[in-house]
Structure 1
Amino acid sequence: MSNNAIKNDRVYTYADYLNWPENERWEIIDGVAYAMAPPSTTHQRIIGNLFVEFATFLKGKPCEAFIAPFGVTFDKTAKDETNPHAVEPDITVICDKSKITAQGCKGAPDLIIEVLSRSTASHDVIKKRRLYEQNGVLEYWIVDPSNQIITRFHLNEELFKYREPEYFARDNTIIPISFPALEIKLEDIFPDTTEE
């Protein structure tokens, strides 16, 4: 991510996030604003495939899946002017309806999925992983389109830390820890490598 895609001249907050022009997409982590890169076709295809799996499975159930752009901020009690975090995960699954607001989610979602792009890979793998772990996101998936692998982190709630990551390749089936009845074949998620 280039320096002109980062705003760190002051502490940015959720209030800034709510007031940016609609044609600009920024995320805020620890008061630093990061520009969001335009997604590739492969990125969007993978998100769409995953979202369909979750939305279909969760239909009529208490949990709900949301696709980006959908804002997530973690502290339910913080004022917008002081909250230093606002992110837009690719897919967000929320089971506590009280966390869903008109602007997005306030509080930790149950599951977050991020699909890597070249410009944001380190951001998703390092900064967001730490943010999600510290704020109690139970399950975090990092989807790597280039290598067609999903890395899954699952929170050890007693230690408030993620357990060792698990890896799932294109020929595997992944079962979300929160939804053991949902089996997702990754060959249905990742595009055929001969397409692009």
Structure 2
Amino acid sequence: QSANETISNGLTQFYSSDYITSEVILENEFNNEILSYIELFQTNIQNTFEGQWNLLQSIISNNQIISVRKTDFILNGMLFNNTLLPYSYIKSYNNCHCATDSTCHEIVRLCIPNREDFINGIFIGCYMVDSLLLSTTECFYNQTCLDTIKFYMFNSSQTYQNLNILNQSQSSQYKTNETIGTILKNLFIENWNEFYSYENYYN
């Protein structure tokens, strides 16, 4: 939703701009200038969105906000002489400590008694968002990997029903093992549909 709002606001501003020249220019020059404007627009809108995300992540990590999923800090308590004494400890992943690096992560491990599975390309770490951005899409192109995830889900849930393998044969600018962070940086856009007309330049 945030990406859609950024794109929508950017397009509104872009469409409100007029292209005016002091004298008539050739079609080749017109095309080159319009392409430059479009590339500048795309770069600016991506930088705006990335800046918003970086600000949000820095606020969370710099203030060491405790995750509701207890992925960065563990808060607990113990009884001593009928008094509840709170205590906490900082979590670490692969010898990386959340107190000093909010991007610490490791491969997701799913388990039940007598079974344990590691999900390639999907990470868990100090903060869910950081871990998600570091994760890749490779599992969603692999039926065996998806079946492993679905094994731990309620088969009556809507998510279970909708979780299907992605089509590798479908053309895409993204690799099958692309990071979610890369896709997010591109605002989930597969490609831009550019339309401009030299003839309309005279209208």
TM-score w.r.t. structure 1 length? 0.19
TM-score by length of 2: 0.19
Larger Rg over CA atoms: 2
Q: Which has the higher helix share?
A: 2
